[in-house]
Structures are given as structure tokens and as C-alpha cells.
Amino acid sequence: MKLSEILRQFGNAVTNHSLTSNPDHDPEITGVAGIDEASNGTLSYVEGAKFGSFVAKTNASALILPQDEKLQVLAQERGIVWLTTPEPRLLFAKAIALFYQPYRPIPEIHPTAVIHSTAKVGNDVYIGPHAVIQQRVEIGDGAIIHPNVVIYPDAKIGDRTTLHANCTIHERTRIGADCVIHSGAVIGAEGFGFVPIQTGWFKMEQSGYTVLEDGVEVGCNSGIDRPAVGETRVGRNTVIDSLVQIGHGCKIGSGCAIAGQVGMAGGVQLGNRVILAGQTGIVNQVKMGDGAMTSAQTGIHSDVAPGEVVCGSPAIPYKLYLKVCAVYSRLPDMYQSLKQLQRKFKDSPGD
């Protein structure tokens, strides 16, 4: 499609563009690509001035740019059509959606699917080969259940939710509308509840619920456990990467982002818009306030205030962590200086 057509679909998100001064330079756009891999006919983007070197050498036909006149001039000099927006990455994401839509099967129930007679299946639902839908399960309108999915008794799946192949939804789990559960994820399995006794461990039955509110996305091979009593809850529009473990009784707010290999023990509470970088670990019962963030491999052992950014293990505030890192890199020199001082005092005559 012509770039001018793409501009019309973007609407008010575009604040300026080169077609205003040169309407005849309206290239045909056949796809999207990363700035360093772009070729003739593709649309790409840069987020800021630090990526100006890519503008100087990219083969893209058109670029989404931030509101930076120097980048606009550079693109113009290279004959690249450009458009500007306050959020280039967001607009690029919308551009991808113009050229690619994920596979969505036609509604049908495959003859090899096993659906209990007490289950309730909504309208326009797809249920793939060898899926198993057990007693009293409820599936909303427009849901997609891919092959080999297993849904245990009394679970509820909301409208337009997608369960990808080989994920497992355990008993009495509640999943809202417009959620996506990726392959291998296990939602609502038994929490890790054992009471120590003289002969080993007594198993505490996990009678609670796991609840995913609307718009939650869970990555491949992640687990969200149900508690002994009460519920584990994930707030609306929270996104969870692959290989994440969320323990029993956790309460996660809305709009959170949890990266791969994060692990949180039981009873953790996250506020809204919390961001956990990869391999963050959180001990049980810790609370993190709204907007708090971690860096990769952070170990959290105590509560984190709203808006605070923490790093390291045990976690400390970001600015302090930078100072600690600066000192850490100098430890070998400091150690040598200490040894020299020790020798000096050892060799000096006594008083």
C-alpha cells in the first residue's frame, strides 16, 4: 500500500510528515522491518537521536521518527520518506498490525475434542484436535482453544480468550475476556503448600482459586498457582513473559509487566504498573508499590515503595546501586592499596 494510505490509517498519531512538502514522493510500502535490516519498500522506525547513525545507512523506503528535526533533515537528504510521532515504537507496532495478523482458526469443534456433556461452550468458538474440556467448564463467545489444551472441571474462560496448544487450565480457574495463554503455561495448579512434621512434610490441600482478569497475557511454560485458601489474582492488562513462576496467593495489579524467569513466592503483592526485569526473585509476603521497577537479577527481600527502582541482591535503590558498582570495579586496586598500607605499618618502627 502507498505510504499516504498508511498515514490515513494512523490518523492523529502522526504529527508531521514529508509528504506535506513533497506529495509526489509517495512510495509503495510492502512490509515492515528493523532499521538495520530494512530494504527497499519497507517501513522502519527509530526511537531517538542516539539512533541517528542508522538513519544514515538504512535501506528503508520510509521511517517513523521522533519529533527531531535533525533526524528529519538526515532522512530527507537520503531521499527517505518520513513521518513523526511522539511515540515511534508504538506507531511501529501499529504498522506491523497492518501487514500481519496472527493465525486465527475458523470457529469449529474438531471431532477428536473431548467435551463433557455438562460443559457450556459459547458461540463462534474454535476447539482444536484432542482438546479436553471437563465437567462444568464454561467457555465464552469467540474463544479459541488450540490442540491438546486441557481444561479441568469448573474452570471459566472468558469471551475471545485464546488458549494456545498444550497449555493446562486447572480446576475452578477464572480467566477473563481477551486473555492469551501461550503454549505450555499452567494456570491454577496446586501451590507449593507443605507443613513440616517430624517425619517429613504434610501436604496442605490447595482449595483456593486462580483469577486472571481481562486482557492478561501469559507466556510459554509459565506457572500461576492457586493457594490453600482465597485466591491468586492477576490484574487486567498485565503481561507475563515465558518461564515465570507466580506462587500461591500472589496479588498482582493491573498493567504490570513481568519478564522471563521471574519467580515470586507465595503472598507477594504487586501494585499497578509494576515492572519486573528478567530473573527477578521475590520472597514471600513482600509488597511492591505502584510503578515500582527492578533491574535484571534483582533479589527482593523487603517491601519496595511506590515508584522506586531497585537493583542487586539483596535489592537496594538504583542510585545507590550505581555507586556500589563503581566501587566494586575498583576493589582490586583498593585491595592492593590496603596491602601496601599494611606492609608500611608493619615495617614502620614502633612508638
Catalytic residue among 17, 164, 170, 248: 248
3-state secondary structure of 19: helix
In sequence order, what are the residues at sequence separation of 6 or more whose Cβ sits closer than 8 angstroms to the Cβ of residue 97? none
Whose cell is 469449529? That residue is 108
Question: In whole angstroms, what is the distance from residue 71 CA to residue 314 CA?
Answer: 42
* Eight-state DSSP code of residue 35: T
Distance CA 174, CA 217 (A): 14
248 catalytic per annotation: yes
E strand residue ranges, 198-300: 200-203, 209-212, 217-218, 223-226, 231-234, 239-240, 245-246, 251-252, 257-258, 263-264, 269-270, 275-276, 281-282, 287-288, 293-294, 299-300
When computed from its CA atoms, the radius of gyration of the chain, rounded to whole angstroms, is: 27
Q: Are 154 and 172 in contact (CB under 8 A)?
A: yes
C-alpha–C-alpha distance, residues 62 and 6, integer Å:
11
| Cell 576493589, residue located | 331
Where in the sequence numbering do the catalytic residues fall? Answer: 248
